[in-house]
Structure 1
Amino acid sequence: MGTQGGGNMFPGVTLPFGVVKLGIDLNPPRGAGDPYSGYHAEGNVTGFSMMHESGTGGAPKYGVVSQLPVVGDISNPLLDYSLPRAEADEAQLGYYKAMLSNHVTVELAANRHAGVVRHTFPADDKEKNVLVDVSHFLPSTRRLGIEQHYVEGGIKLNNDATYSGYGVYNGGWNDGPDWKIFFCGGFSQPHRAAAFEGTGTTLESFGKKSEVSGKKRVGAVFTFDQKTGSELLHKRDDWALYPRQQQSKTSKLVVEGKLGISWISEEQACNFLQEEVPADSAFDSLVQIAQKVWNRDVFSKVTVEDASTAQLQLLYSSIYGMFLIPSDRTGENPGWNSTEPYYDDIFTLWDLFRCGTPLFHILQPERYVDFLRSLVDIWRHDGWLPDGRSSNFNGRTQGGSNADNVLADARVKGVTGVNWEDAYSAMVTDAEKQPPNNNDPQAADSSTKEGRGALPDWLSKGYITTKYTRSVSRAVEYAVNDFALSQVAKSLGKTADYQKYANRSQNWKNHWDARMNVYGFTGFLSPVDADGSFPATPHDPLDCGSCYWDAPYYQALPFEYSFNAYHDMKTMIELMGGDRKFISRLEKLFERNANPHGSSQFGNTLFNPGNEPSFASPYLFNFVPRNQWRSVEKSRYIARSYYNPGAKGLPGNSDAGAMQSWLLWSMIGLYPITGTTTFLVGSPQFKHLAIDLGDGKKFEVKSSGGNEESGAWFVQSLKVNGKQWNKSWVTWDDVFANGGTLEFELGTDKKEWDTGDRPLWGIIG
């Protein structure tokens, strides 16, 4: 699901939160886009490597420690041996298979820090080789200045028929500095091995050394064929010869390349290999382990009844997509010694805080506490909470300091096991200290590595001027971040801090230009010039410039961002002209052809299902009583129109599972408002769904009268824990703290059942 059409999903093999993500790497055709997860539907296969991220954009990361089967003589391993597939790849949980044009079949299986690449070579007299190229990585053609680079490497051919080494790389999405990965591997069949080094395509050494290292390209060629040991010995006597069995020249040759990786040392990589892929282990056993672990630890947490095949595919594929990253690298951070959990490959909290992390909390509560502890420990050692992080390095921060939102969400929901005084201190660092400028080539005005780069304006002026890129989107996000601090301060009894940050969280209003207008709606979030005034000509609410790093608005229009102060809805609705105008403006967001610059894929709507700033918008109708049916209408349309279990089943980059988490909330029938205990009520897609909350607690959703084909998905009535309910929202304590039940009656009538109090009304001030 989502491997094509810009979803960029990783389709290879891994365990939940696994360090190893073993998958195929391709060089796609010109104009087809970067291979963000390694995979692409078309192009030439460049290798099968041990590390990937999933669903990301910006620039690829990893694609290192690679193997590629090559049939025939290899005279220069620095040449391009990439090749097309013979047919489409196959995959299932814990297993991947590719059939290459050289008639080699490659199959993949993995454990947490180690994996197996099984090469099945054709039965002929040609040499059978596996090329290990340490300089291999996922490239980028976008020329954004954040592409990856190979720095140096080394490889040793050991006397026990194993090999080991390291590679150093830099760049990628987070623009990380040099990072080092160690590896240790071996093969199931005897072989000859030849190390190589060179620059470009010019060999300086091939087969003359058992160990090479340096800033040149390095690697090794491992050769297997169906000749006798003595024949091999005389063919090239300067290659290492390992005892082998006589094999038939008419049978296919199966070679399993087993490999472990570590961020600490070659020795640790070898230990992982021995522990997780013992010499006597079968390939199929790794596949079975993966299936067992995913089912036991992840999928079994959610059960449904009376679901169609398509619903089941969407449900469990989406859950799977949520937990491919981050990577649990506990004990594997080379930068510090700590007994705390450690998670890397956070891509990114800007993408995940709205839907992903609240669902992470519910589906994986114990791991979620470990993840939160890891965030705080990163601050202890690196000085800052991450928004994004990979290769043990923070970056990049697209807007606000959104680890603040994640921590606040956990705190108000009663999460224990976190050092909350330290967590709050980390949040205060974000709120009060400007991070050093990392001179990002896409936004050189202030830091994109961590923290709040535009903090000087925010603290001294209460708004962010166009001196800073992404000034408007950062301002509304800084306001939400400050609201997050206020909630944690309140919970810790820090009354003065609570009032300070609650007041600061209202500063988003300082960007509200009442002159901006479109379609009869006045007042939108506007850029502010360096002198503190709004532009002489009001900004166009339908123009976000490049909508990227250099623009005032990041990945969304002013029309969209003007709905993003979710923590201060009362003020927002008042500024928009009251309930009726607010509802009309929200409706315009979903109107086809309302966006002259929009994508026909999304009907040229102002709402963009593929970017996170629009995630909450379909549910905001709930803030006006008797309009919950509109939230159901919009959210159901989006789920049905832009998601499916196919290869193009996501409306944009998965963004580390952010898209899947939005869909899962739609299926459940709720939507979270991060940093609060409030969940907006939607409409469930199942007759019965249950989530195991741990400690014997269960959350259940039941529905009757629903029918997807006839459009019978509007709420006719709702009971919460057996009691009739008239509010369009529930709280954490209602249904999650100790478990709970939602019972929906669904139908085709757009019933105005929600006559109770508004959610979050007057929460600020």
Structure 2
Amino acid sequence: MLALPNMVASETDYSQYVNLFQGTTGGGNRFPGVVAAPFAMVKLGADVQSGKTDAYSGYLPSGSIWGFSMMHESGTGGAPKYGVVSQMPVVGNVSDPQSDLSQDRASPDEAEVGYYKSSLVSGVVVELAATEHAGLYQYTFPKGDAASVVVDVSHVLPSFRGLGWEQHYSKGSFSLFPDGHYEGSGTYNNGWNLSPDWTIYFCGRFNQKSSSARTFISGSNVTPKSQVSGTAPLGGVFTFSETNITSRVGISYISTSQACQSLEREIPERTTLRTLVDNSKRIWNNQVFSKVQISSTDTTDLTLLYSNLYGMSLLPSNLTGENPGWTSAEPYYSDIFTLWDTHRCHTPLFHILQPAAYEEFIRSLIDIWKHDGFMPDARSSNFNGRVQGGSNADNVLADAYVKGLRGNINWEQGYRAMVTDAENVPPNNHDPKAPDSSTKEGRGALPDWLKYGYITPTFTRAVSRAVEYSANDFALHQVAKGLAKTADAEKYLKRSRNWRNHWDPNCTSNGHRGFVVPRRANGSFIVQDPMKCDGCYWGDAYYEDNAWVYSMNAPHDAAELVKLVGGKDKFVDRIDKLFDLKVFNAANEPGFTAPFLYNFVPGQQHRSVERSRQISKSYNTGTGGLPGNSDAGAMESNILWQMIGLWPLAGQTTFLILSPWFASMIINLSNGKTLKITSTGGNRDTAFYIQSLKVNGQQWDKAWVTYQDIFEKGGTMEFVLGSQPKDWATGELPPSPATEVSRKSGDQ
């Protein structure tokens, strides 16, 4: 493993606690390769093949490596994306670069922040480092034979699921230049977001002079010249007499010229791998890890904290200056995979820990609307898609707005972008998995929503979409209210209650009555077993969860939900049943908030704490340390909120109080402000019940705080914990702004 340089005495190297392989097995799909800085465009790592198993992030713990490529997603499901601009080292001369050049590993891969290493059975050792737009490959070949590197432009991560989401190589080009460098491009399409052709450009140099260099193109019997292009697989083969080879590659969505400029600017010729690794660690320490400090010196605590801070900061990708779609002075972010996953708890933490980048991200969402017509719910390869439920960029914008994020955001334009989602039906992209309406962007089921105030089975995912559209309309209410658009604010507040139109009071399950169910155009409900949802997938009434979960998905209207369920006791039992019936799945985002809704019932806050501790057991520091797909940081941010002892309600300023893990945690906010959270008298595992709480030095009797209380100007939270529950939260219940009787609580 790479020997680390000595850190400056005054600095703390938090990166030493990051396990890059946490969440890479068991369905976590986190990318363990090199990401030189948070949200970097280049994600350089190994691509592994093992039978017909999809390698979503390129990595699999077993199988053979068939390339090391420059671009990957992290923690996604659906189907792999990217795995492009690839190199593969080969011992000896390569007569057929299109043959199977894959190699098993001689030992498990190794990784640290900014560094990745693979040892192949051929004897080749590959070490990787990177910057935001370029990568460095350092090869050590065994002595006694030629050393070859194959650059395969057609290389792309495959999918074997048979769902039509596999990527395709469309065409490419590759050129050799007299000074030994090469340039080219690859064009690809499809993938999970069903994108049309998109192109990535590359520029590469070796620090050693090759003994031979040639291009190749599949199917050609003629010796290729210095330049090849076409729809057939193509690339280049470089052979060296030396054993230590350094390869540097820059990439760009704009041009080969820009790729070359990034390469020379970010990795000049004599740059060492150690320098890049050291720079990467410094960036991650300064920009991410140092934002959160805890009192614990336990290695497991530190590894869990910093590994998850790392994992939540890989996506989206900051592509500012790399937008091929339009010219704009605004920031540009892509690889949003997806806001359906991240808007509940990832984006609220993104805002707190990275406020400058988060403002850029919000501006980017608005700029995408301005030029593409709709904000994305998901976006990769510079193309919107796919929408699983609602238009959740609305929730993200509302969350930022009510928490006072202004900066250079044009909120009038932002609101217009939200209105586009709420009022304009997006063109149908004829997705084979959901052909009824657009899955590219916007709200495909909007015709029913506007006509009936609910969604009929004419549209797939009707019930889960209706629940999400209600939350989206509440988001519009929040921003309209803040912008003094009174009529709009009232209109969207009323529409935010439309989830109630799916509530069948006669639907029963396991001792409970009343669930959200499908509804016909004539107003009648469809008989539904709340424990079932068929496949819970694209063509069904509910997406990735059943009626038990979606019936608890209206935190903006929680007081009404308590009433519909049958009162406080029934409401508590309904949350209990999510766990007793094994309905709750810590890996499914629609259920993220439900375990903490106990806070809406007097005297029950301790139950939220118990559920928080229960959920935390789904995590560990190992390779299977996430309960499911990272989902672009959704899972990581979930456990981080548990550690903090708060839970955000997206689109509101409300944070539900749970219970902190550590005797002390300091969160460094912007402009030198901090939130300091302390606890005495307890411990994380057995004495975690709140006995009393002070917020900013004042005794606190509410099971919630607002953003303005503790984050806007910083603050303190002083917990006294104990081994037994205590009814300390005797004050006002959390706001339920969409519920008529609770309007006095305020809309935020």
Normalised by the length of structure 1, the TM-score is 0.93
Which residue, out of 574, 589, 593, partners 2:578? 589
Q: Secondary structure of 1:274's partner?
A: helix
Q: Does 1:388 align with 2:378?
A: yes
Which residue, out of 28, 40, 44, partners 1:18? 40
Which residue, out of 67, 70, 73, partners 2:93? 73
- Whole-Å Cα distance in 2 between the matches of residues 512 and 763 of structure 1? 16
- Whole-Å Cα distance in 1 between the matches of residues 381 and 689 of structure 2? 46
Which residue, out of 68, 73, 76, partners 1:48? 68
RMSD of aligned alpha carbons: 1.1
- Whole-Å Cα distance in 2 between the matches of residues 44 and 119 of structure 1? 17
- Residue 636 of structure 1 corresponds to 613
Once the 2 structures are TM-superposed, how far is the Cα of residue 197 of structure 1 from its aligned partner? Answer: 3.9
Q: Secondary structure of 2:106's partner?
A: coil
- Residue 703 of structure 2 corresponds to 728
Once the 2 structures are TM-superposed, how far is the Cα of residue 29 of structure 1 from its aligned partner? Answer: 2.9
Which residue, out of 70, 76, 80, partners 1:60? 80
* Residues 506, 204 of structure 1: alpha-carbon distance in 2 compared, 3 angstrom cutoff: farther
Code of the residue aligned with 1:2 in structure 2: it is G
Compare 69-78 and 439-448 and name the one that shifted more.
69-78
- Residue 675 of structure 1 corresponds to 651
Code of the residue aligned with 1:548 in structure 2: it is Y
Q: Does 1:221 align with 2:237?
A: yes
- Whole-Å Cα distance in 2 between the matches of residues 205 and 298 of structure 1? 53
Which residue, out of 483, 497, 500, partners 1:509? 500
- 1:548-595 CA distances to partner (integer Å, 9 max, x unpaired)? 11111001111011000111001111110000000011111111xx2x
Unaligned runs of 5+ in 2: 1-21, 741-748
Code of the residue aligned with 1:26 in structure 2: it is V
Q: Does 1:461 align with 2:438?
A: no
- 1:248-293 CA distances to partner (integer Å, 9 max, x unpaired)? xxxxx11011000000000000000000000111111000110010
- Whole-Å Cα distance in 2 between the matches of residues 110 and 320 of structure 1? 16
Which residue, out of 143, 151, 167, partners 2:186? 167
Compare 482-491 and 748-757 and name the one that shifted more.
748-757
Q: Does 1:694 align with 2:670?
A: yes
Contact 2:76 2:632 in 1 (8 A): yes
Once the 2 structures are TM-superposed, how far is the Cα of residue 630 of structure 1 from its aligned partner? Answer: 0.3
- Whole-Å Cα distance in 1 between the matches of residues 271 and 229 of structure 2? 31
Which residue, out of 269, 272, 279, partners 1:282? 272
- Whole-Å Cα distance in 2 between the matches of residues 334 and 35 of structure 1? 27
- Whole-Å Cα distance in 2 between the matches of residues 763 and 398 of structure 1? 24
- Residue 135 of structure 2 corresponds to 115
Unaligned runs of 5+ in 1: 227-252, 595-604
- 1:376-407 CA distances to partner (integer Å, 9 max, x unpaired)? 00000001000000111111110000000000
- Whole-Å Cα distance in 1 between the matches of residues 177 and 542 of structure 2? 55
Code of the residue aligned with 2:589 in structure 1: it is E
- Whole-Å Cα distance in 2 between the matches of residues 504 and 617 of structure 1? 22
- Residue 638 of structure 2 corresponds to 662
Contact 1:457 1:464 in 2 (8 A): yes
Once the 2 structures are TM-superposed, how far is the Cα of residue 298 of structure 1 from its aligned partner? Answer: 1.0
- Residue 169 of structure 2 corresponds to 150
Code of the residue aligned with 2:240 in structure 1: it is F
Which residue, out of 601, 618, 631, partners 1:624? 601
- 1:501-553 CA distances to partner (integer Å, 9 max, x unpaired)? 00011110110111211111001010113443212xx2000011111111110
Aligned pairs (5 A) from 1:25-36: 25-30=47-52, 33-36=53-56
Q: Does 1:606 align with 2:628?
A: no
Code of the residue aligned with 2:591 in structure 1: it is S
Q: Secondary structure of 1:11's partner?
A: coil
Code of the residue aligned with 1:153 in structure 2: it is G
Once the 2 structures are TM-superposed, how far is the Cα of residue 73 of structure 1 from its aligned partner? Answer: 2.7
- Residue 568 of structure 2 corresponds to 579
Q: Secondary structure of 1:695's partner?
A: helix
- Residue 483 of structure 1 corresponds to 474
Contact 1:195 1:212 in 2 (8 A): no
Which residue, out of 294, 297, 302, partners 1:312? 302
- Residue 86 of structure 1 corresponds to 106
- Whole-Å Cα distance in 1 between the matches of residues 215 and 168 of structure 2? 19
- Whole-Å Cα distance in 2 between the matches of residues 389 and 87 of structure 1? 36
- Whole-Å Cα distance in 2 between the matches of residues 440 and 680 of structure 1? 38
- Residue 718 of structure 1 corresponds to 693
Q: Does 1:518 align with 2:538?
A: no
Q: Secondary structure of 1:41's partner?
A: coil
- Residue 11 of structure 2 corresponds to none
Contact 1:174 1:396 in 2 (8 A): yes
Contact 2:38 2:284 in 1 (8 A): yes
Once the 2 structures are TM-superposed, how far is the Cα of residue 72 of structure 1 from its aligned partner? Answer: 2.1
Contact 2:645 2:659 in 1 (8 A): yes
Normalised by the length of structure 2, the TM-score is 0.95
- Residue 102 of structure 1 corresponds to 122
- Whole-Å Cα distance in 2 between the matches of residues 277 and 332 of structure 1? 18
Q: Does 1:184 align with 2:227?
A: no
- Whole-Å Cα distance in 1 between the matches of residues 475 and 513 of structure 2? 29
Once the 2 structures are TM-superposed, how far is the Cα of residue 705 of structure 1 from its aligned partner? Answer: 1.7
Contact 1:712 1:747 in 2 (8 A): yes
Q: Secondary structure of 2:669's partner?
A: strand
- Residue 602 of structure 1 corresponds to none
- Whole-Å Cα distance in 2 between the matches of residues 106 and 646 of structure 1? 24
- Whole-Å Cα distance in 1 between the matches of residues 216 and 425 of structure 2? 45
- Whole-Å Cα distance in 2 between the matches of residues 2 and 497 of structure 1? 43
- Whole-Å Cα distance in 2 between the matches of residues 379 and 115 of structure 1? 32
Once the 2 structures are TM-superposed, how far is the Cα of residue 193 of structure 1 from its aligned partner? Answer: 4.2
- Whole-Å Cα distance in 2 between the matches of residues 726 and 589 of structure 1? 28
Contact 1:197 1:205 in 2 (8 A): no
Compare 274-283 and 187-196 and name the one that shifted more.
187-196
- 1:318-345 CA distances to partner (integer Å, 9 max, x unpaired)? 1101111111111110110000000010
Contact 2:176 2:215 in 1 (8 A): no
* Residues 345, 755 of structure 1: alpha-carbon distance in 2 compared, 3 angstrom cutoff: same
Code of the residue aligned with 2:654 in structure 1: it is T
Code of the residue aligned with 1:180 in structure 2: it is T
Code of the residue aligned with 1:157 in structure 2: it is L
Code of the residue aligned with 1:684 in structure 2: it is P
Code of the residue aligned with 1:725 in structure 2: it is W
Contact 1:45 1:83 in 2 (8 A): yes
Code of the residue aligned with 2:128 in structure 1: it is L
Code of the residue aligned with 1:17 in structure 2: it is F
Which residue, out of 722, 729, 734, partners 1:754? 729
- Whole-Å Cα distance in 2 between the matches of residues 632 and 607 of structure 1? 16
